[in-house]
Structure 1
Amino acid sequence: MVNLFPNELEESMKYICGTSSIYFSCILKGEADGIIWANRKDSPDFLLVWSPYQEGFQLMGQPLCKEEWKGFRTWFVSTIIPFLIEQGMDYFEYGADTKALADMFQNIFADIEIFSSNQKMFHWSSIEVNLKQPKGYRIEKVDRVFLQKEYQNKESIINELERAYGGIEPYFEHGVAYVALYDNRVVARADMLFSDNGYGNISVNTEEAHRRKGLSVYLAMKTIKDTCKLGLIPVWDCTDDNLASEKAAKKCGFQMIREDPISWFNLNSLKNVGKPFEDK
């Protein structure tokens, strides 16, 4: 496996399919921050992609042939495990664009326990939702003027944009975000930081003390309207156990279209680190 930059991938779109995660397809196109590993430098067909925003990986392209499994596992143990430890993480989380890719990975690591859950995917149904602004909050769009202002947790907004893009400037070209401030502190946000193939991904976050006040839905609807003005169809995703996020999505007019499996395993479960891969 070799490390590649997006501009080194010939025809990056050939690795993107209908079930590709928008977070990772943006990385391949060079529109979001991330790391790409490929099974070879010239004309690779398998990619392992890391998103610092998601803190996870995606298997993309075509499955490795069985003869490559042993080499991949050896590389994984020597490269990915230290990389994750350096990130302060004790688990490996991943999605796969196809069942064939998921099955391949399951076979390579058949000796360890892999856990799974589902990521629900929603598309906006173009309905009009009229909402009143929650009282007691100042609503602002995250633009150049806003980022020059001083407020208590300004660094959190900057960090969010840097995690997505690796810097601030790309946000102004690709992103949309709104925030709610209370006592000069950002307590809720909604954003569209990732877009691909005509879709824009909507994300929300509200501090616990300010939940159940309608902030997530109100900010999301403002972000949705700006996303539509950019000619993009809003989409939404959340894990199947995130009932609050799913409820907010439905209030905004989103409808679920599919569920994608997300898998993970603990790094300490790799008890056979360094041992040869054994074909079953």
Structure 2
Amino acid sequence: MQELEKKEFERLLPYLYKRKERCPTFVFAVLERFIPGFVFADDLNSPKTIFVGTDSGLYFVGGPISNVAFNKHFLKFCSSKLKEGRRFTLFSGSGGWDGLISDCFRLELKQSSRYSFTFHPEEYGVKEVQLQEPFTVSRLDEATIRSSHEFNLEYYERFWGSAGHFLDKGFGYSVIDGETALAGECTSIFRGKVYAEIDIYVDAEYRGMGVAKKAAQAFIDHCLKNEMIPCWDCNVENLASRKLADRLGFREPSSYSIFVKNQ
């Protein structure tokens, strides 16, 4: 398992973009230098198996599981990280990795399933949500972040390093009730040059009013205008998220596993 220097990250991109199974968006965010992180590969010149991590404690492993030396170093790395007491969320690239991770960390990690959807722009031609006045849609700015309970300064420090870096490289939209009341938000938890992953939150008082869909439409419109692909992932049991995804043109859910620390 060899660690790549930052200037070598782009070597992996052709391989990842050709993969049948799409990687998590944060992998592209790291490789395309939108957020800090590290990258390991089995071979620098012809990579097949990779391990990518972010500073926020998100990790992805994918590719063939047949490289014994790579697996040994990968498992040792995970064991060391688990002892640090910080966040640890591991995204698995296949059923083979599911089995290997489960066998080695059965007591330390809990497995759960998520869906990754494929966006179909031809299915997106949905009727725009018309909210009653005084609702307005605005691009996220520093004032909105400071007033948010969910996507606040701490959120952007965790996933982007700082709110300032997010405002420079990321994007998102808010639905405001009146002058200042924040009804809902849709933000890019991660983005690369091609993919942008949606994270969405609506205040309990405004749920069921179309706020989530309105915010998501603004996000998707931004992606289409800038030739990006919006990404929608959610927990398998999150029926509300799955239904909203379907109404917005996200189809063909593909399941994958994540592993988080047992509490």
Normalised by the size of structure 2, how large is the TM-score?
Answer: 0.77
| Corresponding residue SS for 1:11 | helix
Name the aligned partner's letter for residue 240 of structure 1. V
For the Cα contact (< 8 Å) 1:134–1:214, is it kept in 2?
A: no
> Which residue of 185, 188, 191 corresponds with 2:187?
191
Q: Which residue of 2 aligns with 1:242?
A: 238
> Which residue of 220, 228, 231 corresponds with 1:232?
228
Q: Which residue of 2 aligns with 1:47?
A: 50
RMSD of aligned residue pairs (Cα, Å): 3.5
Question: Offset at 1:232?
Answer: 2.0
Name the aligned partner's letter for residue 220 of structure 2. I
Describe the superposition over 1:41-82 as per-residue Cα deviations: whole angstroms up to 9, x where unpaired.
Answer: 9667543323466x53211344362355455434432x2113
Alignment of 1:9 onto 2:9: yes
Question: Offset at 1:158?
Answer: 3.7
Identity fraction in percent: 16
Alignment of 1:57 onto 2:52: no
Question: Offset at 1:14?
Answer: 4.8
Q: Which residue of 2 aligns with 1:80?
A: 81
For the Cα contact (< 8 Å) 2:145–2:151, is it kept in 1?
A: no
Alignment of 1:36 onto 2:34: no
For the Cα contact (< 8 Å) 1:93–1:265, is it kept in 2?
A: yes
For the Cα contact (< 8 Å) 2:113–2:235, is it kept in 1?
A: yes
For 1:66-215, list aligned pairs within 5 A.
66-67=68-69, 69-77=71-79, 79-83=80-84, 85=85, 87=86, 89=87, 92-109=88-105, 114-124=110-120, 125-142=123-140, 146-147=141-142, 152-153=147-148, 156-172=151-167, 174-182=169-177, 184-196=180-192, 198-215=194-211
Distance 2:165 2:146 in 1: 22
Mark the structure with the bigger radius of gyration. Answer: 1
Distance 1:192 1:169 in 2: 14
Question: Offset at 1:202?
Answer: 2.7
Distance 2:13 2:147 in 1: 41
For the Cα contact (< 8 Å) 1:37–1:49, is it kept in 2?
A: yes
For the Cα contact (< 8 Å) 1:120–1:237, is it kept in 2?
A: yes
> Which residue of 234, 245, 254 corresponds with 1:259?
254
Report the CA distance shift for 1:111/1:266 in structure 2 as closer, same or farther (over 3 A): closer
For the Cα contact (< 8 Å) 1:153–1:185, is it kept in 2?
A: no
Name the aligned partner's letter for residue 130 of structure 2. K
Question: Offset at 1:173?
Answer: 5.4
Normalised by the size of structure 1, how large is the TM-score?
Answer: 0.73
Distance 2:30 2:242 in 1: 26
Question: Offset at 1:30?
Answer: 1.1
Name the aligned partner's letter for residue 255 of structure 2. D
Question: Offset at 1:236?
Answer: 1.6
Report the CA distance shift for 1:222/1:8 in structure 2 as closer, same or farther (over 3 A): same
